[in-house]
Amino acid sequence: MCGIAGLISFSTAEDVVGLSSRPDTLSQALASRGPDAHNRWISPGRHAALDHRRLSIIDLHSRADQPMISDDGRYAIVFNGEIYNYAELRSELTGRGVRFHTTGDTEVLLQMFAQYGPAMLPRLRGMYAFAIWDEPEQRAFLARDPLGIKPLYYARSRERLYFASQVRALLTVPGLDLSEQPAGHVGFFLWGSVPEPYTLYRGIHCLPAGHWMTVDRSGETTVRKFASPVEEFGQYRLEEMPGSDAECKSRLHAALAGSVRAHQTADVPCAIFLSAGIDSSVITALSAEQGLPATTLTLGFDMLRGSENDEVPLAQIIARHYDTPNHPQYIGQPFFLEHRDRILEQMDQPTIDGVNTYLVSWLARQFGFKVALSGIGGDEVFGGYPSFQQIPQTVHALAPLAHAPFLGRGWRILTAGVMRRFTSAKYAGLFEYGGTWGGAYLLRRGLYMPWELPAFLDADLVRAGWEQLHSIPAMNALVHLVDRLPFAESGQADFLRISALEMTYYMRSQLLRDADWAGMAHSVEIRVPFVDMFLLRQLAPLRASRFFPRKPAYAECLSRPLPASILHRPKTGFHVPVREWMQQETERGLRPWSRFVYRAKFASAGSD
């Protein structure tokens, strides 16, 4: 895990040299991402500059520092992330006569590109965002992993293209268009996070997950999609479907164990973020049964101590059950208030989440860990959210109204004011939105509804942002991809539809992005064994089968079962008392926190 930054000049070489040597250049804002080494490289032709902040995890020697240059001088790379199958790829390349000078994954990635070009991307198991400069071709190649675990942002001026691991690095570049991007502002208040590929700024963009981009010194730019997790849902043959419950559980166990094992590939110790939930417990169990050493870390909150929302006692039961060291830490309001300003400073784009990840990453750093495994993705893969039941019920019940949208719109206009005073404003939109998959998902996941936003955002901004986002049609189109999947058995189609929506929206634009900035604030790399394309490929025929166990039953595949108190515990979610700490008791949920974040960090972007 690292921080990367760079620029490509379309004009004179002096621009690259001058900008790359400025003391407040791009990578200064990325310092916490890579405290172990900092290096910069300027291309011989002086049309590219690459900057790297290193967090040493695989091959700790300085020989593995970046930017890394190929032996022939043709390619230079900066890379953020991990390639978990680098050892197998290295063996293949060695068989082709490639010589290596390091024992890490960066050189493997560089040599894979030299051998195969963009065709290598589907073969990479890992999380990544990287840039490679091709000196003879005078062209840069940038790519981002299919599930969007690692971020990559870029901005373009008339004479240069800049890129970086975080938006805040690009904000240091003079002359970029930092005017309001309506879709970013509206998207934040709709979802509680900024949906990619948008940011709050017109001139700064997110390279979409599963895409690569090339840009040459003339400024010609190409962007292509190379992978989609939803499309992977259907990449299997009929004969790969499991024939029994026992076969399904056996294959599920093997796939999960393999992913946990791969995600502990490191030359430094790994920790596990352990809550009282199923997913982190399964990671702990699979790690223990394979003899993989890992310490578990558990976060608790003073005001929840002793309540049903206190994660610590049950996490300690799990740790003892699997003979795993556990370090619990209770956090109180004074600690949160002490760290609040730094949380806002490190928060790359506004989000209503991430505080819990920031705090548990702080705990990891206190115990000297650079790597921690998280259960993010378990709910999306195994159907752990209430949305997996509620959204299909809503859509099937209200589908006829989708053909008469004027009725639902009229109901919303008539009732919105009353609903807002007595209950959630979402109920006013039930008949307007509830009959389509995209609309029902917005009702379930939305922080605010579109018609509420003009109360505190400019009405023209809201109108433009809603049109740009095209949210409901885009979500309906995503679901339509699932409708075309082969062989899905009865009852699985709805499950796969919601899985696609949760992975593409909530997981990617909120959970994974928050894990990145919050972990990197403490120089901690967060790995996510459930968010893995190789795992999704292995599970594709299982997830389409009637034998596929959803949450919590999927945990029954373990060799040593979870304690009954964990397996049969009702899902409660991980409650972080931000609203109580901020003493914002006057309004529902995290809405007050969202406005506080927006005003405190992005007041200049147009909030009142």
Q: pLDDT-based confidence at 25, cuts 50/70/90?
A: low
Distances 475 to 442, 448, 478, 504, 536 between C-alpha atoms, Å: 9, 17, 5, 9, 20
Residue numbers annotated as active site? 2
Whether the per-residue pLDDT at 583 is higher than 80: the answer is no
Q: Which residues contact 466 (CB under 8 A, 6 or more apart)?
A: 186, 450
Q: Tell me, what's the pLDDT at 242? A: 95
Whether the per-residue pLDDT at 405 is higher than 50: the answer is yes
Q: What is the pLDDT of residues 253-278, one digit of tens each?
A: 999 999 999 999 999 999 999 999 99
The residue among 164, 267, 66, 6 whose CA lies nearest residue 517 is 164
Q: What is the pLDDT of residues 87-108, one digit of tens each?
A: 999 999 999 999 999 999 999 9
Q: Tell me, what's the pLDDT at 607? A: 40
Spatial contact of 205 and 155, defined as CB atoms under 8 Å apart? yes
Q: What is the pLDDT of residues 464-517, one digit of tens each?
A: 999 999 999 999 999 998 887 776 666 788 999 999 999 999 999 999 999 999
Domain positions in the chain are: 2-227, 234-383+510-570, 387-496
Spatial contact of 594 and 188, defined as CB atoms under 8 Å apart? yes
Annotated binding site for L-glutamine: 105
Dihedral sign for Cα atoms in the order 575, 578, 584, 590: negative
Q: Tell me, what's the pLDDT at 23? A: 34
Whether the per-residue pLDDT at 588 is higher than 70: the answer is no
Could you tell me which residue, 579 or 346, shows the higher pLDDT? 346
At the topology level of CATH, where does 234-383+510-570 sit? Rossmann fold (3.40.50)
Site of tokens 């003079």: 174
Q: What are phi and psi of 44, to 5 degrees?
A: -55, -35
The residue among 352, 351, 426 whose CA lies nearest residue 391 is 426
The residue among 30, 72, 71 whose CA lies nearest residue 50 is 30
Q: What is the pLDDT of residues 106-121, one digit of tens each?
A: 999 999 999 999 999 9
The residue among 75, 553, 522, 484 whose CA lies nearest residue 271 is 522
Could you tell me which residue, 599 or 532, shows the higher pLDDT? 532
Token readout for 176 is 């970029």
Whether the per-residue pLDDT at 349 is higher than 70: the answer is yes
The residue among 289, 395, 361 whose CA lies nearest residue 515 is 361
Strand partners, 224: 212
The residue among 159, 23, 12, 153 whose CA lies nearest residue 517 is 153
Strand partners, 273: 297
- The answer to whether domain 2-227 has CATH 3.60.20.10 is yes
Beta strands 126-134 and 75-83, pairing class: antiparallel
Q: pLDDT-based confidence at 605, cuts 50/70/90?
A: very low
Indicate if 234-383+510-570 has the same CATH topology as 2-227. Answer: no
Provide the 8-state DSSP code for 193: B
Q: Where are the beta strands (DSSP E) in 74-182?
A: 75-83, 126-134, 139-144, 153-156, 160-164
Q: Tell me, what's the pLDDT at 606? A: 39
Percent of residues, the chain, with pLDDT higher than 90: 77
Whether the per-residue pLDDT at 28 is higher than 90: the answer is no
- Per-residue pLDDT averaged across 331-353, rounded? 93
Q: pLDDT-based confidence at 234, cuts 50/70/90?
A: confident
Whether the per-residue pLDDT at 137 is higher than 50: the answer is yes
Token readout for 334 is 């004074």
Whether the per-residue pLDDT at 585 is higher than 60: the answer is no
Taking all residues of the chain, what is their mean pLDDT, rounded to a whole number? Answer: 91
- Per-residue pLDDT averaged across 288-309, rounded? 92
- Per-residue pLDDT averaged across 28-44, rounded? 92
Spatial contact of 524 and 357, defined as CB atoms under 8 Å apart? no
Whether the per-residue pLDDT at 573 is higher than 90: the answer is no
Q: Which residues contact 70 (CB under 8 A, 6 or more apart)?
A: 76, 110, 111, 114
Q: What is the pLDDT of residues 235-252, one digit of tens each?
A: 888 899 999 999 999 999
pTM of the model: 0.94
Q: Tell me, what's the pLDDT at 64? A: 92
Q: Tell me, what's the pLDDT at 11? A: 75
Q: Peptide bond preceding 313: is omega within 30 degrees of 0, i.e. cis?
A: no
Q: Tell me, what's the pLDDT at 347? A: 93
Q: Tell me, what's the pLDDT at 307? A: 87
Spatial contact of 417 and 452, defined as CB atoms under 8 Å apart? no
320 exposure class (CB count in 10 Å sphere: 0-12, 13-18, 19+): exposed
Annotated binding site: 105, 374-375
